[in-house]
Structure 1
């Protein structure tokens, strides 16, 4: 027997989409890893299907979005029905993101895509370790790790269907379709198109009334003990909730009973063990947030762990603990929102249901409400909690500058007006997202300046560049395996920094001959860590002092 032990940087328990994505992040950053998965291979079930705008931005930043997009359905918004009539269609195409839609793809394709990108022999199948998704044993091994919450006693029907009937064409293959009813909602989401041009839809509905149970045992997921769910039963529910429309289920697959729990671990880290995705939290699938939170968990942890493994940080404990401090509040807020949505849309108290069915259409007819609704479902409104130790603590002066604030996500939908000069001296117009795109754990410190009225070059820009070289070395030496974890960038544009805008110029221009500049420090996941206007060398020093709190110098 071969008893040789192979050491790796990271052991990943669970070969679902989140575990495989984390493995891809480790591979991109040159870290050794091993993935352990108890299944024989990628799932053959549809399962989690939706990639939000924010998650697609994450994948694009890691050069992975195209692999998902090429096989996915593009869902451009929402279409809601009540009493057979659609109302207040919600369009995502005007959302301020490079991906103003949801990409719908069966989980089997996602897992196979990620596994293929990893390559052969990177996942050890048919092997169970100690943690895997919603029933993670890692939590059970520690006395201090609990997984509290509640179970929704309601039974849900889930599966895939091809539709037919006189009114089947009212169901949009480019929208999430929802049928509101006093007995609960019936959801129909496009997931796949056949060679014959027919559409498979993910269907989801409650079978009975809303009920909460407070047992400690997790019941989340497919209920294999509940018996067989028949097409006839699902059709009966669809006919009732979709009335008076004539829509029939022509074909079905993977019909099953599903249970929902709203539970979260009391912390996502203990020493060298980290919980990510379903091992850390699971909740109602209403809103399609679960897979996305897991992938964003993995992305948040990956670059922090990489910096620590590369010995590129002065305070490893602060960086690793920030994973829990940043992700737990975001995940908890999402759980609260999805739990409320579940209760609101399926509670069958007659008067309550009547109110929801009347109020919902009215609310969604208001532009302000729909924008807020779309921004949150697409997750582009997401920001890092201000309690994170990795964010610069803003002051009133900073807030009044009009700059993007620490904790906010850099938007990059509009090309920069000025030229971008690459190593070939070519001139291009690019977005901030393209400039910031990287697969490694690298911060970017951006100098954003206007054109000087008195000289061709703002002398502070040269001071900034010299300061960077003094502390972190020549930027051309930075590689994935380099201990230097920050790169410099100078963006020169008359009045553009964020979304082509560098606000609050009037007052500084009155005081200084040179147009003001700004320093914006962007984390590897494109969230802002630091931002300030620069009027003197002391402002430059303050920015580098902030980075010195946890990133090592040369």
Structure 2
């Protein structure tokens, strides 16, 4: 556990974010855009790397990026995928998603990071690259972080809150003394960035046999990412990878290696399923891979982290502004809402990878049954789509929040414009009937002066709805 500081000092920054991946960048940008003083520290030196694992941005994440004015720019960097193929035979129609973004956007993680970093910098975030956390201690008023800067220069920063978004080897989590229970779900995964002589017919290629599995996706600049696994070759992560091994995997799983050549990166890793029991310890929070890691099946990792950040940011803003009726309860709701989501992602991604790796006759029969049910029963496939895309995420209603609070608010058309466009102000949006001026409910962690007010285009609609900055309904009067 972190030590307690008996001699608190004044804060150098409102919030210290540790880790400049997608989760940390979105969080820092949100906080700074709302007027908070934010410092973001990153162990790596300045400059983005194209060596990235995440390649899919799901519909719910695109909605969150849309409410920050970034989705259209990101869409221009990638390719929309309207169908997702699972187990080699099941094809899920993403065009059925009830969203403006009825697809999976295939684009590399570094494009997401680029847009989020530009936004964070424009909002005034202070970046400290080449800086690592060594220890932290907290008291009733804030958190003191002991850091090591460039050239091993010691540095101490004081913040009112600290958020660890520093990945699966999180130093913040370690400093808190929190366990990270779980297990390795798949070992000896091969990664490679290559050129191809023959372009694949599909944007996203996923295929496998009982012993092999290969995923192939484009960067969009002529380079392709290959991820492969071979049941018969389970070796340590530090075992060298050669292009011949990657080619052999592709030929066995895909029937062709597409003329792979000129690799710029070859690596091997393993995938864990782990989740920290507490996303909050006092004034310190964990988000993204610092809080949960899971198999890459379904492409939900980066998406879940970005959604963590969107959930936490507005709550920290409300507390720092002094607008939360019950600050501790509001901050605790981050754990209450996001921990179950992380657990669900672990279950679904784990089920997908285990079915894909099915070897025994019983396991393969179960995979066939799952594919048949999802392929023939529309309610089952609808639920699967809602889970994978994130559109199905709904939080428990807040006390006094009305019968339907907690659900995701769709991007409805209002007289003042689309709801998700109105959310770009980073504030709550109150939608009311024409001529009505409903008072804010007592549970609202904001002031009337900050609320964006909007009107239903249909005069016959008499419901009033208060939408949170993360696009979920806080309150409705019906």
Do the aligned residues in 2 keep the contact of 1:43 with 1:107 (CA within 8 Å)?
A: no
In 1: Cα distance, 2:69 partner to 2:300 partner: 22
Distance 1:485 1:272, change over 3 A: farther
Moved more, 200-209 or 10-19: 200-209
Shift of 1:5: 8.6
Do the aligned residues in 1 keep the contact of 2:247 with 2:257 (CA within 8 Å)?
A: no
Shift of 1:129: 1.2
TM-score if structure 2 supplies the norm length? Answer: 0.82
Paired position in structure 1 for 2:424? 438
Tell me which of 164, 167, 185 is aligned to 1:133: 167
Shift of 1:180: 3.4
Secondary structure at the aligned position of 1:278 is classed as helix
Secondary structure at the aligned position of 1:232 is classed as helix
Shift of 1:224: 8.7
Map of 1:377-526 to 2, 5 A cutoff?
377-384=388-395, 386=396, 389=398, 392=401, 394=403, 405-412=404-411, 415=413, 420=415, 430-434=417-421, 436-440=422-426, 442-448=427-433, 461-462=435-436, 464-465=437-438, 467=439, 484-494=449-459, 517-526=462-471
Do the aligned residues in 2 keep the contact of 1:148 with 1:265 (CA within 8 Å)?
A: yes
Shift of 1:495: 5.1
Computing the radius of gyration from Cα coordinates, the structure with the larger value is: 1
Do the aligned residues in 2 keep the contact of 1:345 with 1:356 (CA within 8 Å)?
A: no
Do the aligned residues in 2 keep the contact of 1:78 with 1:177 (CA within 8 Å)?
A: no
Paired position in structure 2 for 1:207? 230
Tell me which of 41, 45, 55 is aligned to 1:40: 45
Map of 1:164-183 to 2, 5 A cutoff?
164-165=197-198, 169=200, 171-173=201-203, 176-183=204-211
Secondary structure at the aligned position of 2:32 is classed as helix
Paired position in structure 1 for 2:143? none
Do the aligned residues in 1 keep the contact of 2:463 with 2:477 (CA within 8 Å)?
A: yes
Distance 1:153 1:53, change over 3 A: closer
In 2: Cα distance, 1:412 partner to 1:117 partner: 22
Paired position in structure 1 for 2:218? 190
Secondary structure at the aligned position of 1:267 is classed as coil
Secondary structure at the aligned position of 1:313 is classed as coil
Per-residue displacement from partner, 1:337-379 (whole Å, max 9, x unpaired)? 1111111111433x14542564455345325143333222111
In 1: Cα distance, 2:37 partner to 2:172 partner: 21
Shift of 1:125: 0.7
Map of 1:36-185 to 2, 5 A cutoff?
36-41=41-46, 42-79=48-85, 82=88, 87-119=89-121, 122-130=126-134, 132-143=166-177, 145-152=178-185, 154-165=187-198, 169=200, 171-173=201-203, 176-185=204-213
Paired position in structure 2 for 1:279? 290
1:325 aligns with 2:325: no
Tell me which of 19, 22, 40 is aligned to 1:14: 19
In 1: Cα distance, 2:120 partner to 2:101 partner: 25
Secondary structure at the aligned position of 1:151 is classed as strand
Paired position in structure 2 for 1:226? 238
TM-score if structure 1 supplies the norm length? Answer: 0.71
The count of aligned residue pairs is 434
Do the aligned residues in 2 keep the contact of 1:391 with 1:529 (CA within 8 Å)?
A: no
Distance 1:123 1:164, change over 3 A: same
In 2: Cα distance, 1:124 partner to 1:246 partner: 42
In 2: Cα distance, 1:391 partner to 1:57 partner: 27
Paired position in structure 2 for 1:216? none
Secondary structure at the aligned position of 2:464 is classed as strand
In 2: Cα distance, 1:483 partner to 1:410 partner: 20
The Cα RMSD (Å) is: 3.1
Unaligned runs of 5+ in 1: 195-199, 212-222, 395-404, 423-429, 450-460, 473-479, 497-516, 534-554
Do the aligned residues in 2 keep the contact of 1:88 with 1:365 (CA within 8 Å)?
A: yes
Secondary structure at the aligned position of 1:147 is classed as coil
Do the aligned residues in 2 keep the contact of 1:80 with 1:177 (CA within 8 Å)?
A: no
In 1: Cα distance, 2:99 partner to 2:352 partner: 24
In 2: Cα distance, 1:356 partner to 1:163 partner: 35
Do the aligned residues in 1 keep the contact of 2:218 with 2:224 (CA within 8 Å)?
A: yes
Secondary structure at the aligned position of 2:27 is classed as helix
Tell me which of 232, 256, 261 is aligned to 2:272: 261
Per-residue displacement from partner, 1:91-134 (whole Å, max 9, x unpaired)? 32232101112222223333333323333883111110145221
In 2: Cα distance, 1:283 partner to 1:153 partner: 10
Paired position in structure 1 for 2:476? 531
